Amino acid sequence: MNTRNRLLATSILLLASSAPVLADNTSAHGWDNRIGLLLGQKTYSEDSWKPHDEHGAIGLQMDFRPGSQPFTIAIDLFGLGQEHNKGAEKDETLMAEAHLGGRYFPRFSALGRAFSPYVGAGIALVSAEETRLVSGRHQTTDDTGTGFWLGTGITYDLGERMYLGADLRYACAEVELSNETRKTGGVMTSFGLGVHW
């Protein structure tokens, strides 16, 4: 596990462990909070990412909502990557994305109280790292960029504390890797399980 992966894993663990404390503090002021673990895949639009144009994804989806308001503050963190083996050699691309913004949960009585559809949007902060075999040697380049994300999805309450979720989003930023400017635009689909307070 390289340094970037360790930092991402540590950040996710710290956020997961601190979420109950944050939720307890804000609930006293009329906030409704939820945090979910998502697993999925992101497919990149540009051919320049091939053969690394489909990344496995793991992430945390967090919402903080004031009382009965249909809007939430959204904070989502994702780690993405793909490894491409060529005999004894391997290339890999790694991404870390932070999606900050808001989500709107409209109320549709026809769906029942257990279902909660939503739409969301905001800014995307992206860190990219790519390792490729160049002239017999592995060469690593990295860059960061800022862009946007748009998404929609639905959650289903399993009870007072647990819920299932499905999420579909598009996120795009611009980074420069191996002296080439690329867009990280692509569609991410994911499913997950979460808790709310």
Q: What is the pLDDT of residues 126-140, one digit of tens each?
A: 999 988 776 667 788
More confident residue, 138 or 145: 145
3-state secondary structure of 26: helix
pLDDT at 139: 82
- Closest C-alpha among 125, 162, 123, 172 to residue 145: 125
Q: So what's the architecture of 3-196 in CATH? A: Beta Barrel (2.40)
Question: 27: pLDDT confidence band, cut at 50, 70 and 90?
Answer: very low
Burial grade of 21 (CB within 10 A; 0-12, 13-18, 19 or more) = exposed
- The domains of the chain are located at 3-196
Are the CB atoms for 11 and 140 separated by under 8 Å? no
For residue 16, pLDDT beyond 80 = no
Share of the chain above pLDDT 90, in %: 52
Are the CB atoms for 193 and 167 separated by under 8 Å? no
Are the CB atoms for 131 and 140 separated by under 8 Å? yes
pTM (global) more than 0.85: no
Question: 109: pLDDT confidence band, cut at 50, 70 and 90?
Answer: low
CA pair distance 9, 96, nearest whole angstrom:
11
Burial grade of 85 (CB within 10 A; 0-12, 13-18, 19 or more) = exposed
Question: 29: pLDDT confidence band, cut at 50, 70 and 90?
Answer: very low
- Closest C-alpha among 34, 27, 13 to residue 192: 34
More confident residue, 137 or 31: 137
Peptide bond into 20 cis (omega under 30): no
